Amino acid sequence: MTTSRVIHLAADDVSVLLVFEGELLPTLAHWGRRLDAPDPDLLAWAGSTHRTGMEGESDVPYDPSLLPEHTHGWGGRPGLSLHRSGAAWSPRLSVQTVDVDGEPVAAGGVVRRGASTVRVVARDCVAQVAVVLEIGLTAAGLLRTRAVVRNESEGSDHLDVGAVCLALAVPTDAREVLDFAGRWATEKVPQRHPVAVGMHTRESRRGRTGLDATGTMAIGTPGFDSRSGEVWLCHVGFGGNHEHAVERSDGHLAFRGGELLLPGEVRLARGEEYSSPWVYGSYAEGLDAASHRFHRFLRDASRATGRPRPVTLNIWEAVLFDQDLDTLAELATQAADLGVERFVVDDGWFRGRRDDHAGLGDWTPDPDVWPDGLGPLAEHVRSLGMELGLWVEPEMINEDSDLARAHPDWILRARPQLPLRQRHQQVLDLTAADAFAHVLDALDRLVTDLDLAYLKWDHNRDLVDAGHPGSGAAAVHEQTLAAYRLIDELRVRHPRLEIESCASGGGRVDLGILERTDRVHPSDNHDPLDRSRILRWTGLLVPPEMLGSHVASATSSVTGRTHDLHTRCAIAFLGHFGIEWDVRGLGDADRALLARWVAAYKDNRQLVATGRVVTSGDADADAPSLRGVVAADGSEALYTIVTPHLSADSRRRVRLPGLEPDRRYRIEAAQPESLGPPWLVPQWLRTVPALGEGPSDSSDSPDSPDSSGPLVLAGDLLTRTGLDLPTFHPERVVLLRVVAVTTTPQSVNPPRSRP
């Protein structure tokens, strides 16, 4: 009688097939397109790969599990790296129990479920180790897994855990990898390369996700792009040290991921446990569909879409450290006149903070600058109908601060000397109960006293030589979990508080932090062309409404390039729209134009926050790049289209993905002053209504572009054939809005707000 167990999870259009043979940990036998096969066939198929080895007892081939084991002859990276005083380093785990959503699964059968969680308990009685393996499939078809390791020693000896590296197997015909490099202000630089035998590893040992971190790693069939080719998009949901990797061996390919533990970080006493981060995977046809599963997961977990995303003004690039009540009150007044809804006071408001050399840790308003505290500014901001937000960096400390002078023992260090300074700062030891309580109370008072709606939570240095003061033992693991607890506890005390994850820009963007924050700051670089790339690739993981997207000054403080206001606003539009600019000096024309963009964003932000993201143009340097959001019911869509930097073509057809083929759509556009010589501009661009000027009731319109009404075309035409677009002028941005029309003309309402 067979002892095989087969668990088939299916959700959306994805199947996950787990096969258990005897007491071995399960293999991920299929993760991909939804399967349709009867139970006997699944059992027969599972048994069809069985190999006896030599004479049934030697050289028995091993199919690696989700936690591959060295003891069975696996020559790649083991799933577990652990030991007990040098012994018990090669565990041989035997499955004890298997359940699906709490219901036990017996051997010798097939269990079918939809979105569910499988829980596997396995033990090695010799090594005195237990492992709980969790494998879940969400309703959106997102796969995730983690492992919990427990020390079941009968004595007092510790179990040292060096690594838990999970494996999500993918078919070997996935032969290309897409991952990302970067640096400060240049996050998410794509790099594409073939899968090779061995290990391609992207490690982050910075104590935060990292500006150079890949964030996501895609493995797919050759040539996969936005909407074609099978692709497996993977992510490790942890903001501390971690690893993304692709491992290829004899007949086996897998994404490998987990936390990178420093020496001695996890030493389990009897009965203690270590839980790995969740490792996530999304299978789909094309990157857009794979990305959408992550977006659905985050939208279910986050409160960001629970209310309209407020238009934000952040004061950093407007005034830097030059802050006082009169300056910020005037800036707030002018922001409110533009339609801004949230006013954020950035770095520089607290005691001793005239530059970035001092003050971190002293979270009270500077009495020299704010003799009456921040209360008068808070009252002024609220009197204008805006929320107040505040910048903090609670995990850091300056040596030149009252807190550091009072508690030098609260600074992380691996030796008696302090670590090298980065950004003139050190790391506050949140693993120390007194330090944790001090910071929590300081933040609690600020939020309470000022009635703050929002914190911009920064993290401006890597964790280098981050050891527990006194012992010097590595502390990154515990520090990361302490930061999570700090945010969680603050949000328990203030359920309506929203928090942005910022880390020198996009240095902490991962599902560990995003499950407890409301948006991320993708980069300190507001240059719109660079921002377009950063938004696109950060958006593989993060939905647009959680991507801070600001309009800054005409000349970028990072790149030195100059762009007109139309370009800066059009790129920022498909995100959480905001301003980071000194609007006090605006001329009348720019002021009016910016106010129209703000109003247009308010008209469309619900679509941005709920629509399905679509993209194109990534694989063709000559093609315009496109990033859009399409309503779930196909009723409307927004597209940002950027002409290429350099192209041999003077024109290209741009397809608008995601529209319903059997519906007709009218088109509006916000376009630059020039896309090329007048004779190259097609008829539709010369006659299309401006963004917000089309009929607001979705009525039908005349079909001819020569008529007085807007152009109306079938969704099938727009998606399959596309619109002719000049590419003569480089790096020009067109923002399109398309709206499904009814078959019967109706009266035209007053035009919507438009830029």
Q: Tokens 């707000």 identify what position?
A: 753
* pLDDT tens digits for range 532-559: 999 999 999 999 999 999 999 999 999 9
Alpha-carbon distance of 556 to 552, in angstroms, equals 7
Token pair of 662 as six digits: 């059997």
* pLDDT tens digits for range 428-451: 999 999 999 999 999 999 999 999
Residue 417 has pLDDT above 70, yes or no: yes
Residue 589 has pLDDT above 70, yes or no: yes
CA distances from 406 to 121, 211, 403, 427, 587 (A): 48, 32, 5, 15, 49
CATH architecture of 5-301: Distorted Sandwich (2.70)
Alpha-carbon distance of 482 to 476, in angstroms, equals 10
Residue 755 has pLDDT above 80, yes or no: no
Say whether 310-600 and 5-301 share the same fold: no
Specify the CATH superfamily of domain 310-600.
Aldolase class I (3.20.20.70)
Provide the pLDDT confidence category of residue 89 given band limits of 50, 70 and 90: very high
Provide the pLDDT confidence category of residue 746 given band limits of 50, 70 and 90: very low
pTM for the full predicted model: 0.96
Q: Tokens 């030059």 identify what position?
A: 322
Residue ranges per structural domain of the chain: 5-301, 310-600, 613-740
* pLDDT tens digits for range 160-169: 999 999 999 9
* pLDDT tens digits for range 142-194: 999 999 999 999 988 999 999 999 999 999 999 999 999 999 999 999 999 99
Long-range contacts, stretch 348-355, CB < 8 angstroms, 24+ apart: 348/319, 348/320, 348/321, 348/322, 348/323, 349/323, 349/374, 349/390, 349/391, 351/402, 352/400, 352/401, 352/402, 353/321, 354/321, 355/321
* pLDDT tens digits for range 629-673: 999 999 999 999 999 999 999 999 999 999 999 999 999 999 999
Pick the CATH number of 613-740 from 3.40.720.10, 3.40.50.300, 3.40.50.720, 2.60.40.1180: 2.60.40.1180
Structure confidence at residue 712 (pLDDT):
95
Burial class (CB in 10 A: 0-12, 13-18, 19+), 55: exposed
Catalytic residues: 458, 524
The answer to whether 532 and 639 have CB atoms below 8 angstroms apart is no
Structure confidence at residue 744 (pLDDT):
45
Residue 39 has pLDDT above 50, yes or no: yes
Token pair of 482 as six digits: 């302490």
